[in-house]
C-alpha cells in the first residue's frame, strides 16, 4: 500500500476548504498583512493569462473564415515542449462535485518541473495527447487559462516554479480563479487578458437582458454602471 505523501494531504485539504475559497479571498481586502502572506505563499511571481475561446476580427488572416482561434496559441506552446504531464482529473471540478462539465479533463503541465509530478496525480503525455486534451476541453465548452501558478508548485510540493507552466481548462461554475474579483487588487491584477486582444461593447446590439453580468464572464469583469454595460 502506497504511503500518503505531502501532495495527498494538500489535495485533501484543498477539497475540504474549496467551498470556502471566496470567503478566504475576501479577507485579503480587509487585511493588508493577510493579503501579503497569501500573495507570498500562493501567488508570488504568478503570470496568468485568460485565453478566450473565439475572437471575431475584421481583417483577413491565414485561416478559414474570419475567426481567429486563440486555442491555436495554446497548441503552439504545447508543440514547443517535450516535458508534458496531463493531470488525471480536474481538482476544481472534483472538489466542487461538478455536474455540468467533465471532471476527468485535467490541467496540462509543461516544462522540466512537470517531471516531478507524482504519477498518481498526472501521467506523462506526448504532444499529440496534449493537443487532444485541448480539443476535448474545447468540445466541452471549457475556457483556457495559461501561466505560472505558484499554487501548483505548493500543493504538489515541486520546484522550481519557473520550470512549470500550467494550462487550466476552466468551467464557469467551479474554476478556482473565480476568486480573483474577491482578492485584493495587489493579487487579482496578476490575471491578464491575452496580449493583443481588445474588447469593444456594441451598444446597438445590447438588449439589456443583463445575462452577461452573471452568466458570461466567470471573473465578473463585466459590470453595469450608469445604465451602461462596461
Q: What's the pLDDT at 106? A: 98
User: What sign has the CA pseudo-torsion 122, 75, 159, 15?
Assistant: negative
What pLDDT, on the 0 to 100 scale, is given for residue 52?
Answer: 59
What is the enclosing helix (H) or strand (E) of 27? helix 21-30
DSSP state of 193: E
More confident call, 137 vs 218: 137
C-beta separation of 97 from 176 below 8 A: no
pLDDT tens profile 126-166:
999 999 999 999 999 998 988 888 999 999 999 999 999 99
Q: Angle CA(144)–CA(189)–CA(195) in degrees, nearest 5?
A: 50
Mean pLDDT of 71-84: 93
pTM above 0.85, yes or no: no
pLDDT surpassing 60 at residue 62: no
192, 164 Cβ separation under 8 angstroms: no
Find the mean pLDDT for residues 79-97: 96
Measured distance CA(195)–CA(55) in Å, rounded: 13
Is a pLDDT exceeding 70 seen at residue 107? yes
Q: Say whether pLDDT at 53 is over 70.
A: no
Look at residue 11 in the predicted model and tell me its pLDDT.
Answer: 87
Q: Which residue has the higher pLDDT, 63 or 78?
A: 78
Q: Is the peptide bond before 117 cis (omega within 30 degrees of 0)?
A: no
38-47, 65-74, 105-114, 140-149: least confidently modelled range = 65-74
Residue 46 — pLDDT band, cuts 50, 70, 90? confident
Nearest to 138 by CA among 71, 67, 47, 225: 71
Q: What is the pLDDT of residues 174-208, one digit of tens each?
A: 999 889 889 998 888 877 766 665 666 677 787 78
CA 99 – CA 101 distance, rounded (Å): 6
Average pLDDT rounded to a whole number, residues 11-18: 88
Amino acid at each position: 500500500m502506497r504511503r500518503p505523501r505531502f501532495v495527498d494531504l494538500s489535495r485533501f485539504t484543498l477539497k475540504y476548504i474549496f467551498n470556502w475559497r471566496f470567503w478566504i479571498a475576501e479577507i485579503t481586502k480587509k487585511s493588508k498583512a493577510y493579503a501579503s502572506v497569501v500573495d507570498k505563499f500562493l501567488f508570488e511571481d504568478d503570470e496568468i493569462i485568460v485565453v478566450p475561446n473565439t475572437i471575431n476580427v475584421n481583417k483577413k488572416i491565414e485561416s478559414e473564415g474570419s475567426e481567429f482561434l486563440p486555442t491555436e496559441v495554446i497548441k503552439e506552446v504545447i508543440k514547443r515542449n517535450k516535458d508534458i504531464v496531463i493531470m488525471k482529473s480536474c481538482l476544481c471540478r472534483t472538489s466542487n462535485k461538478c455536474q455540468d462539465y467533465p471532471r476527468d479533463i485535467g490541467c496540462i503541465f509543461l516544462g522540466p518541473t512537470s517531471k516531478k509530478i507524482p504519477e498518481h496525480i498526472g501521467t506523462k503525455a506526448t504532444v499529440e495527447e496534449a493537443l487532444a486534451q485541448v480539443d476535448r476541453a474545447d468540445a466541452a465548452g471549457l475556457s483556457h487559462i495559461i501561466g505560472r501558478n505558484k499554487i501548483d508548485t505548493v500543493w504538489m510540493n515541486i520546484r522550481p516554479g519557473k520550470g512549470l507552466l500550467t494550462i487550466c481548462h476552466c468551467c464557469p461554475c467551479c474554476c478556482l480563479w473565480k476568486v480573483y474579483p474577491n482578492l485584493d487588487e495587489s493579487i487579482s491584477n496578476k490575471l491578464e487578458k491575452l496580449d493583443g486582444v481588445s474588447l469593444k461593447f456594441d451598444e446597438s446590439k445590447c438588449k439589456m437582458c443583463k445575462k452577461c453580468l452573471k452568466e458570461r464572464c466567470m471573473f465578473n469583469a463585466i459590470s453595469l454602471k450608469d445604465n451602461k454595460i462596461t
